[in-house]
Structure 1
Amino acid sequence: MEQLNVAVIGGGQSGLAAAYALRSRGLTPVVLEASDQTAGSWPCYYDSLTLFSPARYSSLPGLPFGGDGDRYPRRDEVVEYLLRYADHLDADIRTGHRVRQVRSADHGFALTLENGSELAARGVIAATGGFGYPNLPTLPGLDTYTGQLLHVKDYRSPEAFTAQRVVVVGAGNSAIQVATELASRASVTLASRAPVKWFKQRPLGGRDLHFWLRITGLDIAPLGRFMPDPPTMAVIDDGRYRGALDSGRPERRSLFTAIEGAKVTWEDGVSESIDAIILATGYRPDLEYLAPLGALDEDGCPRHRDGTSLTHPGLGFVGLEWQRSLSSASLRGVGRDADRVARRLTKHLART
């Protein structure tokens, strides 16, 4: 069985940041990525996805994003950046290596891969992030709906919904972006339990919001430990999205109260046929491979403090929402968390 120093599970932004931090501390990580490229979930997002943070605030440690620092990069730019970062990173990255199970073993951990082979590692960093599994909420009658039902992870572009009646469920950035884009080709309702909350993209003096988050320290404040259930983030808007909702394209309604067949019933009792429902309801961590360790709680969430496991000192996490701060799951913040986790893991390995 091959013996590794540290196994990093996941080769997206979180895994790459973890590998950089470990190598900076003299360790030799091996990155195990399930897919055939080191871009994480980014290639799977919808075509028009655009970052809300400017390029100057959207880099991993050691390699600037490049280009105009004030632009807001699109999905394909982020994919290209991550592939470039992986090439730039002097680390052993193995694509097509899906980890199915991690168990405790003498002097560390045993990892079983999808092909049945096994690896041993003194330390493990779970860097599959918080966007592995779509969160599918329990909504009235949703399991009986006979129209097209999909999570936003399976949405790509509005053309397939031309002239249809569509409901987008959610109140976050992705829900607003997708609903507004669809409204140019379809009749769209944005449905959510609570009204949409807004942040101005440039609140003061023309500076981007992320400038103010950085200089005030709010972006790195260690608030994650006080947020076991991360809230829906306010929508960062330059005026386009709020204007679209104000004009009724898309319209916004409270969540439907019932579904029967393809018909949705709204709070006012009115029912109508809906061609498609798109759930923009977030994601859950992809960490089932850690279940044999007992490192997860009853909901499948990691037992950790600031990314260090509370059950196994040789196990760390990188890329979770609110792992430590507001920016933990973002390009701009994951490097800080990775460095903290790598520092603690290095100390643990030195002791053992």
Structure 2
Amino acid sequence: MIIIGGGQSGLAAARAALNAGLRPVVLDAGVEPVGSWPRYYDSLTLFSPARYSALPGMPFDGDPDRYPHRDEVTAYLRRYVDALDVEVRTRTRVVAVHARPTGGYLVHTDSGDELGGIGVVAATGSFGNPYLPTLPGQGEYGGDLRHVARYRRPDAYAGKRVVVVGAGNSAVQVAYELNTHARVTLATREPVRFLPQRIRGRDLHHWLRVTGADRLPRAVVTRLVRHAAVIDAGRYRDAITSGELDRRDMFTRFTADGVVWSDGTTEAVDAVIFATGYRPDVDYLAPLATLDRGMPQQVGGISSTHPGLVYLGLEFQRSFASNTLRGVGRDAAHVMAALAAHCRPRGLRQKPHAPSGHLPSTSPAQRAAGGGQR
């Protein structure tokens, strides 16, 4: 079986595949299988403590109550893949997946290779497909317009007039750090909503775990939580409430050198950064006709159109935590059970490779020697 994507979702899928008795091959477009983490902005810090942010079988090192930095997560994923006895092919971008007439799939790469497999896991996440809305006059705007996926650090904006668009964690965090270097406005369609980082002395994620809220299905969560909310220890709320960080209603259009605000005021703006989310990065599945306006047709990560095709890392795939480090492992076990059941009648079931408690301790050289089977 073939796993497309070597980030947190792909690695969780590989471990779940081994536990289910399958031998996966992981294909990743990057130079190393750590997903998009090295490409996030420099100051990115997890909103969940280390004790709640690990993939199955390997906890984070160090203080379990700290909030890991982007680079710590990257290093953690390197250790994780080093302990997995699977074949990983890096610098291998999948460009198309076709169904074979006899069953299974043919996966085509940008180097012209074809790989056959009875099952496919689409685990490429969404970072490669940032959502950039189109507003009136946007094509006329001559300033720096980008998605937050292309933002790295604040010093490049020193002394400039910047508008950050969005009301989620990334928008608020980036606007807050830019505010010490530039003149910043956070533009949102509605007031920013907050969730407290700590409740009764415990991190929010403790309560999500013990109450079971982390596992609530999407239908329930969307009824309870109708708007995005920023996880905050108080500094972001205080900055906006005090006026330290300017928050305005969303502008209505672009001009050649700026924006028009909702009250009709025109202002010159050097840069606009959209923190407006992402969409699944699965265009390679287009030949299967399984996408509906770019979105996978699936239930709980299991394709509703193609047997043997499953997904990981989709937002709200099965729960509030589905596309996070802390939640993707549960989803991986779920979809891999379905994939193993699909493979079993074809004689591909093997003895489970690794115990569910801890990852096997193997080196990259041992992986290379033992990998290659599907």
TM-score normalised according to structure 1 size: 0.95
Contact 1:7 1:125 (8 Å CA) reproduced: yes
- The answer to whether the aligner puts 1:317 opposite 2:311 as a matched pair is yes
Q: Which of 207, 228, 251 pairs up with 1:212?
A: 207
Paired residues for 1:1-352 under 5 Å: 6-105=1-100, 106-203=102-199, 205-223=200-218, 233-297=228-292, 299-352=293-346
Contact 1:134 1:153 (8 Å CA) reproduced: yes
Secondary structure in 2 matching 1:342: helix
Contact 1:133 1:286 (8 Å CA) reproduced: yes
Post-superposition Cα deviations, 1:99-133, rounded to whole Å, max 9, x if no partner, equal 10000002200011001111101100000013321
Contact 1:225 1:305 (8 Å CA) reproduced: no
Structure with greater contact order relative to length (CA < 8 Å, sep ≥ 6)? 2
Q: What is the CA–CA distance in structure 1 between the aligned matches of 2:126 and 2:219, rounded to whole Å?
A: 14
Look up the equivalent residue of 2:313 and give its one-letter code.
Answer: G
Root-mean-square deviation over aligned CA pairs: 1.5
Q: What is the CA–CA distance in structure 1 between the aligned matches of 2:226 and 2:113, rounded to whole Å?
A: 40
Look up the equivalent residue of 1:146 and give its one-letter code.
Answer: G
Unpaired stretches in structure 1, ≥5 consecutive residues: 1-5
Deviation at 1:226, TM superposition (A): 8.1
After superposition, the Cα gap between the structure-2 partners of 1:87 and 1:53, relative to the gap in structure 1 and judged at 3 Å, is: same
Q: What count of residue pairs does the alignment treat as equivalent? A: 344
Look up the equivalent residue of 1:300 and give its one-letter code.
Answer: G
Contact 1:193 1:254 (8 Å CA) reproduced: yes
Deviation at 1:351, TM superposition (A): 2.5
The farther-off stretch of 98-107 and 331-340 is 98-107
Secondary structure in 2 matching 1:133: coil
Q: What is the CA–CA distance in structure 2 between the aligned matches of 1:193 and 1:270, rounded to whole Å?
A: 17
Unpaired stretches in structure 2, ≥5 consecutive residues: 347-374
Contact 1:51 1:74 (8 Å CA) reproduced: yes
Post-superposition Cα deviations, 1:192-236, rounded to whole Å, max 9, x if no partner, equal 111111000002x110000000111110112259869x9653100
Aligned to 2:355: none
After superposition, the Cα gap between the structure-2 partners of 1:44 and 1:220, relative to the gap in structure 1 and judged at 3 Å, is: same
Q: What is the CA–CA distance in structure 2 between the aligned matches of 1:224 and 1:31, rounded to whole Å?
A: 32
After superposition, the Cα gap between the structure-2 partners of 1:130 and 1:231, relative to the gap in structure 1 and judged at 3 Å, is: farther
Aligned to 1:3: none
Secondary structure in 1 matching 2:117: strand
Following TM superposition, the consecutive aligned residue runs of length 4 or more in structure 1 with deviations greater than 6 angstroms are none
After superposition, the Cα gap between the structure-2 partners of 1:227 and 1:292, relative to the gap in structure 1 and judged at 3 Å, is: farther
